[in-house]
Amino acid sequence: MSRSTTPNVDDASHVTSLPLPPSRIPAPISPKPSQASVTGPPIPQSTPMAPKQTSKAIHTTQHYLYTGRKNEHAAEMVNKFVGPMPFTNFLKKFLPPPPDAEAFVFSEVAKKKFEEATSKKSEAAMYTPLLHALRLCVDDFNFVDTHASGDPNSGVLADEYLKPDLTLYPPGPPPSRTTDISKAEIVVEVKFSADDDPFTDDPKSNFVRSSEGAKNTAGQVTSYAIAQFDLQFRVHAFSILIINNYARIIYWDRAGSVVTEMLPLNGSQLAEFLWRYTRSTPEARGFDNTVIPATEEEAAEAEAELKDYESPSVDFVKFLVRNDLDPGEVYHYIGRRPVFKYNSSMTGRATRTFVVWDPERKKILFLKDTWRIANIAKEGDVYVELHNAGVQNIAPLERAGDLHQRTRAQECTGEAWARWGKKRPFRTHEHYRLVLGVVGRSLTTFKSTKELVTAVLDAIKAHDQMYKLGILHRDISVGNILILPNGRGILIDFDLCKRVEELQGARQVERSGTWQFMSARLQMSAIPLTPKLSDDLESFLHVLIWVALLYMPNNMSPESLTRRLDIVFDAAQTSNGFMTGGEDKRVFLRSHAVRDCGFVEGPLFDLLATLSETFGALYALPPKRNARPLLVQTWEYQQELVKQLDSSDWMIETFSEALEQDGWPANDAAKMNELAERTNAYQKKRKTRTHTQTVDYMVGIPEGAEAEKENVAPHDESQTDVQERPSTPRPNKRSRIDDESEEPPSPSKSPCRADRVLMRLNTDDAA
């Protein structure tokens, strides 16, 4: 494909940078950690794959929910751990002996210290002899006891203060904090009881154990790995798990995790691993050699140019970017830490973004760092195709290319020794960077609601043009719509796009998208469904509602607002490693609950109401054969609404008409609404009331509904289009009655008479 030379957005020019000479690659450095905000849901730079925690965490309002996070990590990794890998195979594959190194000799002193540790009667008593033994194995590197000191910067959403039991740091001055995962080489978790081992070498059992202690340990070691990858620039990492008198070594990358067989603690294997590790290059130890320190001159220039984008307290680094259109080209950009750091899953694309300075072209650009799925079209290729087709409202592409770094965990799943959960081959991921020629603002920084709606409309138009080319985006989210300096919007993040022809008739292996904004249809299904145009269009509505709830005035209390966000956007259940939900989102649309969120009446309120009515019709059940004419008439009306979603035309027209109305406020800029306190008490209250309250406060019972119970239609599995109803727990009678008992809409009466009960939650909270 040829490069497009015509930019399709205002305030941005398409620039082809000159190639820079390759520079010497010194040992990589890690970005300094940033403090995650706890005042509101973070807005990320990109959108990870569902149904992992990353898909929820980037937009969640549940910052206070820490109790179950380890179990969530463990559940997510059940099918991503593979083992038990024989130790010799493990070393041969992941850590070959360093060249020209002296022969390994196992210290008798270290052996005695390891034996001393195994004789102890508690985990705490094991720390000191283990520390002494491990220090004898690493020469210039330094093991530190970190079990009592948490790292305040290790949390995904807030200060979780992760505390590995022991941590290996590189040679040089010790870190300013006892526990600093941003500088950790290897973390060690220690357990006294074999019941806490997440794995078993028994060939007759599943490799990943399911006891509570096992799941807790799996969640712990996974949380440490997530933090290490999040706070550093890494391709892979190693960690050590010690269980009383034996150890396991774990290899981590973005495809999965490989675990060794049980290694006797008084044997030489663990010592040999550490001997090799501390004599290996930074690349062999897992560091990303395509991120290097910037020179003082480069850092000074970039700091002056990027002062409006980043905190000045963070070191500058230089990112290497290749260009697939010209494989011989190598470029460098100067930037700082990630704009956001909310990768809450170990495996997957792990996208991070950076505002960077181009020292050759003297220009501020936007860099995306991701681990793309190897068998999906490269995002840069999609950009080139869209630009060549003249698609508007997308960012200009500077360059994009693979970094020649690939995950390796997937290579182990076919080995004779390999056992893991459901035997689904791990996905291969390629490290990839893409540079865009424009830096936009988050959708949540709108200067007026008219600007907000304009930006979303621009993104819908871009989406429509893509769809007419036979490409479905599949990941519409708040983070994937940006506002340009001129107030117009662009659609970004095309790495999950697929051609419509590829989706039709194909079995879906995984669900794609950002959880909060996924259509209810896709969320409710217990198996991945083929995404449709209407799913992406519904996601645009969820984006608009989510932003409006969080950043526009309303009359809800912080508790009520937080609970509504939890119920409609965050609610999910995990079964057999697959996340389902969406029933409450469906009810929200069907009951037209957006009318009772306390928004100020005006053009945006009218737009949300109109959109909710049409998308709510997607989830209406057909009447039974002998239903009253009124119900049949209602159904026919709803089907006419649904037909409008066969293309984007109706939605574009509806947005355009709304923007032409009078009454748009001039200065109603985004202002974050107050959310509930993040406390365990609130968590408990939320958990015990979520589903029942959803039906009670979002579904009104029309007059005479009880008399129409017999007209509720049974679920028709043959209906796979508009009436497609996935196999999830059926709603109770009250919610189904609402589906079947609506009166035809009229200017003076809403389709669902929910007015008397929609605010019940607010009243209850106020009491």
Residue 681 CB partners (closer than 8 Å, separation 6+): none
Residue 739 CB partners (closer than 8 Å, separation 6+): 590, 619, 620, 621, 712
Can you give the pLDDT at residue 7? 37
Angle 680-698/558-565 helices, nearest 10 degrees?
A: 70
Residue 251 CA to residue 440 CA, distance in Å, equals: 37
Q: Mean pLDDT across the stretch 143-159?
A: 79
Residue 234 CA to residue 252 CA, distance in Å, equals: 10
CB-based contact 197:214 (threshold 8 Å):
yes
Can you give the pLDDT at residue 421? 67
Tell me what the pLDDT averaged over the chain comes to. 80
Can you give the pLDDT at residue 508? 57
- CA dist 343 → 175, 206, 347, 376, 484 (Å): 24, 28, 9, 21, 25
Q: For 234, phi and psi rounded to 5 degrees?
A: -135, 150
Can you give the pLDDT at residue 727? 35
Residue 21 pLDDT grade (very low, low, confident, very high; cuts 50, 70, 90): very low
pLDDT at 681 over 50: no
What sign does the CA torsion over 4, 371, 474, 489 have? negative
Residue 125 CA to residue 754 CA, distance in Å, equals: 62
Q: For 292, phi and psi rounded to 5 degrees?
A: -130, 160
Tens digit of pLDDT for each residue in 232-248? 999 999 999 999 999 99
Burial 59-74 (b: 16+ CB within 10 A, else e): bbbbbbbbeebbebbb
Residue 711 CA to residue 266 CA, distance in Å, equals: 72
Among candidate residues 653, 625, 612, the one with its CA nearest the CA of residue 758: 612
Residue 211 CA to residue 216 CA, distance in Å, equals: 9
The larger pLDDT score, comparing residue 326 to residue 269, is at: 269
What sign does the CA torsion over 285, 286, 287, 289 have? positive
Burial 248-258 (b: 16+ CB within 10 A, else e): bbbbbbbbbbb
Among candidate residues 56, 139, 67, 142, the one with its CA nearest the CA of residue 102: 139
Can you give the pLDDT at residue 653? 98
Max Cα separation, the chain? Answer: 89
Can you give the pLDDT at residue 28? 38
pLDDT at 470 over 50: yes
The larger pLDDT score, comparing residue 528 to residue 434, is at: 434
Using the structure block, give the residue that is written with the tokens 């830096």: 439
Which stretches of 68-176 are DSSP H helices?
A: 69-77, 87-94, 108-118, 123-135
Residue 712 CA to residue 730 CA, distance in Å, equals: 13
pLDDT at 708 over 60: no
589 exposure class (CB count in 10 Å sphere: 0-12, 13-18, 19+): buried
Can you give the pLDDT at residue 306? 92
Can you give the pLDDT at residue 72? 78
Can you give the pLDDT at residue 747? 33
Residue 156 pLDDT grade (very low, low, confident, very high; cuts 50, 70, 90): low
Percent with pLDDT over 70 in the chain: 75
Residue 119 pLDDT grade (very low, low, confident, very high; cuts 50, 70, 90): very high
- pTM of the prediction? 0.79
Can you give the pLDDT at residue 510? 65
Using the structure block, give the residue that is written with the tokens 């074999």: 194
DSSP characters over 348-387 = S---EEEEEEETTTTEEEEEEEEEEETTS--HHHHHHHHH
Burial 674-689 (b: 16+ CB within 10 A, else e): ebbebeeebbeebeee
Q: Mean pLDDT across the stretch 82-93?
A: 98
Residue 312 CA to residue 464 CA, distance in Å, equals: 40
Classified as helix, coil or strand, 176 is coil
pLDDT at 387 over 80: yes
The larger pLDDT score, comparing residue 188 to residue 685, is at: 188
- CA dist 224 → 184, 241, 381, 728, 756 (Å): 10, 12, 35, 34, 49
Long-range contacts of residues 749-752, Cβ cutoff 8 Å, at least 24 apart: 750/592, 750/595, 751/592, 751/613, 751/634, 752/590, 752/591, 752/592, 752/699, 752/700, 752/702
pLDDT at 214 over 50: yes
The larger pLDDT score, comparing residue 295 to residue 177, is at: 295
CB-based contact 428:619 (threshold 8 Å):
no
Query: Could you report how far apart the first and last alpha carbons of the chain are, in Å?
Result: 63
Residue 599 CA to residue 244 CA, distance in Å, equals: 59
Residue 121 CA to residue 124 CA, distance in Å, equals: 9
Task: Show the tokens assigned to 334.
Answer: 């100067």
Q: For 257, phi and psi rounded to 5 degrees?
A: -140, 135
Residue 409 CA to residue 446 CA, distance in Å, equals: 42
Residue 455 CA to residue 448 CA, distance in Å, equals: 11
The larger pLDDT score, comparing residue 624 to residue 114, is at: 114
Q: Before 44, cis peptide (omega within 30)?
A: no
Task: Show the tokens assigned to 740.
Answer: 């079947």
Residue 647 pLDDT grade (very low, low, confident, very high; cuts 50, 70, 90): very high
Classified as helix, coil or strand, 327 is coil
CB-based contact 402:371 (threshold 8 Å):
no
In the 8-state DSSP scheme, what is residue 136? T
Tens digit of pLDDT for each residue in 303-360? 999 988 866 557 899 999 999 988 888 999 999 865 435 567 899 999 998 999 999 9
DSSP characters over 400-451 = EEEEEEE--GGGGTTSTT-B-SS-PPPPPEEEEEEEES--PEEGGG-SSHHH
Percent with pLDDT over 90 in the chain: 60
Angle 583-590/733-740 helices, nearest 10 degrees?
A: 40
CB 182: neighbour CB atoms within 10 A? 20
Task: Show the tokens assigned to 462.
Answer: 């871009």
Among candidate residues 593, 459, 573, 569, the one with its CA nearest the CA of residue 519: 569
Residue 435 pLDDT grade (very low, low, confident, very high; cuts 50, 70, 90): very high
Residue 170 CA to residue 53 CA, distance in Å, equals: 31
CB 199: neighbour CB atoms within 10 A? 26
Classified as helix, coil or strand, 718 is coil
Task: Show the tokens assigned to 495.
Answer: 């790495």
DSSP bridge pairs for 145: 166
Residue 280 CB partners (closer than 8 Å, separation 6+): 95, 98
Residue 511 pLDDT grade (very low, low, confident, very high; cuts 50, 70, 90): confident
Can you give the pLDDT at residue 629? 87
Q: Mean pLDDT across the stretch 119-147?
A: 96
